[in-house]
């Protein structure tokens, strides 16, 4: 474990990932995105031969979206659910079929790019081999299962220098762009704090709360009994790099698995990829200095339904130090509780010297409303996006930028994961991004990285 960590640290020292360096790249691209210059571009007339890892649910949606864009051939598909694999295979009979994505990734000759839509705990294991073969990759959020994996993917992405994109579809929307423009043009003055909340309450909670909150499964501990594995599921492959455990219906179908620490990181890494994306983008955030989380006692197996995480960031260029708070489930900002702002079910609130800005996925509002009546925002300076998937396809063909390349998405993913690390460790963390360590909390290390199960490797 220690040797592996030391190798990662040495690699990190070779590739500096700071928000400032990412933004310098963005400036050269007209402020539209965060993407290194791509060395290869395909002719717009070429048909792209894509491999899809995971073709059910979100994966099926990605496949359909990319095929509908035109100029795409489905060259290979992979899924641990044989019924899903066969169903998609019937629609795309030219595609090679795989149950184990390691076999698909053994040799990507003839494949132009790879789309990863498997479960969270396998994202890095499907993404890394593709990058090592210098194939463009589209990976669903969150980019990785833990902090160390995110660092590893960022390093390999920088070396590969190919178009990458994390699947945070809201990032491509017009509303987020208008909010970023307002914040970065100073509409509410320098921002000292941001508050992000989502009402979804899935995870460890009482049975009464589980029913009230519409959770998709109620469970309070790892099942002691074993259930037969559905005949269409390759359970060993689904477990992948995680510690082995017997099958039970509390894990599948997805997204039941999203609450189990062995397979995912709950609401924070899922919806945090969408909601925290906006302050991360607008405030030019990179590595937090400290992270502290609050909630019920951490459970060894299951992520909480409700929790709060507080981040402190230092100055970033012309932007002052700020705090960012995350609330999920029953937790809400004090301003929300005090009726000082509209009580939106989920939202992102920026607090500036001269006012506030409240946003969600599709709308935003400057506060107080009477002060900003008739206010005209800046002329849009961020290029509109054709959509998260199509943006990536255009990048492959033309070398144009993407909005959530892995140098940006990796930093966002690490920050989200650190909220859970602080929660599970039970301490306010002092974060050292170069050492990839909480300097005051060595016990947090077990939540920052893990040794994959035998047969799985991020070599």
Q: Express each pLDDT in 159-182 by its tens digit.
A: 999 999 999 999 999 999 999 999
Predicted pLDDT at 40: 57
Q: Express each pLDDT in 67-117 by its tens digit.
A: 999 999 999 999 999 999 999 999 999 999 999 999 999 989 999 999 999
pTM comes to 0.92
Q: Tell which residue, 418, 417, 415, 436, has the closest CA to residue 427.
A: 418
339 half-sphere exposure, CB direction, 13 A CA radius: 0
Q: Express each pLDDT in 385-435 by its tens digit.
A: 999 999 999 999 999 999 999 999 999 999 999 999 999 999 999 999 999
Record: fold of 2-173+385-404: Rossmann fold (3.40.50)
Q: Which residue has the tokens 């795989």?
A: 98
pLDDT above 90 for 53? yes
Cα separation, 288 vs 432, whole angstroms: 9
In 10 A of CB 166, how many CB atoms?
A: 31
Cα separation, 356 vs 369, whole angstroms: 9
DSSP string, 131-196: HHTT--EEEESSS-SSHHHHHHHHHHHHHH---EEEE-GGGGSHHHHHHHHHHHTTTT-SEEEEEE
Mean pLDDT of the region 302-315: 98
What is the SS3 assignment for 394? helix
Pairing of β 48-53 and β 164-167: unpaired
Residues in the chain: 459
Cα separation, 362 vs 350, whole angstroms: 16
Q: Tell which residue, 45, 103, 323, 32, has the closest CA to residue 195.
A: 323
Q: Which residue has the tokens 């047969």?
A: 455
Q: Tell which residue, 291, 292, 42, has the closest CA to residue 162.
A: 42
Predicted pLDDT at 107: 85
Predicted pLDDT at 45: 61
Predicted pLDDT at 1: 41
What percentage of the chain reaches a pLDDT higher than 90?
Answer: 89
221 half-sphere exposure, CB direction, 13 A CA radius: 3
Predicted pLDDT at 46: 83
Task: Determine what percent of the chain falls in helix, strand and coil, rounding each to the nearest 5.
Answer: 35, 20, 45
For the chain, the structural domain boundaries read: 2-173+385-404
DSSP state of 453: P
Determine contact, residues 123/116, Cβ cutoff 8 Å: yes
Does 112 or 3 have the greater pLDDT score? Answer: 112
Q: Tell which residue, 372, 378, 375, 356, has the closest CA to residue 188.
A: 356
């Amino acid at each position: 474990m220690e040797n592996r960590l030391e190798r990662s640290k040495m690699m990190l020292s070779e590739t500096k990932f700071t928000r400032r360096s990412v933004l310098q790249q963005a400036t050269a691209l007209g402020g539209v995105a965060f993407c290194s210059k791509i060395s290869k571009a395909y002719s717009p007339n070429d048909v792209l031969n894509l491999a899809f890892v995971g073709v059910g649910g979100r994966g099926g949606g990605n496949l359909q979206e990319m095929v509908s864009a035109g100029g795409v051939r489905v060259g290979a598909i992979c899924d641990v659910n044989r019924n899903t694999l066969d169903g998609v295979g019937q629609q795309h009979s030219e595609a090679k079929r795989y149950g184990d994505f390691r076999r698909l990734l053994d040799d990507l000759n003839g494949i132009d790019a790879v789309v990863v839509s498997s479960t969270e705990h396998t994202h890095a294991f499907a993404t890394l081999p593709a990058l090592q073969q210098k194939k463009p990759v589209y990976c669903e959020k969150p980019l990785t299962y833990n902090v160390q994996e995110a660092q590893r993917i960022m390093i390999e992405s920088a070396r590969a220098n190919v178009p990458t994109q994390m699947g945070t579809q809201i990032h491509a929307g017009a509303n987020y762009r208008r909010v970023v423009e307002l914040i970065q043009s100073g509409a509410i003055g320098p921002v000292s704090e941001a508050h992000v909340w989502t009402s979804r309450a899935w995870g460890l909670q009482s049975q009464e709360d589980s029913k009230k909150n519409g959770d998709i499964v109620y469970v309070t501990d790892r099942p002691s009994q074993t259930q037969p594995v559905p005949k269409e599921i390759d359970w060993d492959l689904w477990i992948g790099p995680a510690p082995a455990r017997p099958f039970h219906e509390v894990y599948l179908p997805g997204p039941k698995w999203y609450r189990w620490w062995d397979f995912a990181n709950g609401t924070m890494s899922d919806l945090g990829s969408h909601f925290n994306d906006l302050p991360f983008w607008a405030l030019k955030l990179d590595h937090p200095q400290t992270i502290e989380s609050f909630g019920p006692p951490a459970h060894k197996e299951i992520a909480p339904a409700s929790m709060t995480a507080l981040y402190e960031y230092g100055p970033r260029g012309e932007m002052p130090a700020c705090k960012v708070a995350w609330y999920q489930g029953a937790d809400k900002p004090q301003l929300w509780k005090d009726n000082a702002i509209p009580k939106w079910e989920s939202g992102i609130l920026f607090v500036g010297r001269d006012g506030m800005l409240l946003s969600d996925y599709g709308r935003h509002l400057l506060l107080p409303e009477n002060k900003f009546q008739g206010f005209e925002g800046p002329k849009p300076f961020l290029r509109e996006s054709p959509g998260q998937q199509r943006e990536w396809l255009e990048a492959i063909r033309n070398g144009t930028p993407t909005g959530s390349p892995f140098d940006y998405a990796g930093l966002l993913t690490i920050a989200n994961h650190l909220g859970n690390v602080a929660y599970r460790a039970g301490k306010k963390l002092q974060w050292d991004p170069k050492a990839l360590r909480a300097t005051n909390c060595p016990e947090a290390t077990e939540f920052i990285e893990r040794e994959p199960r035998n047969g799985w490797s991020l070599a």
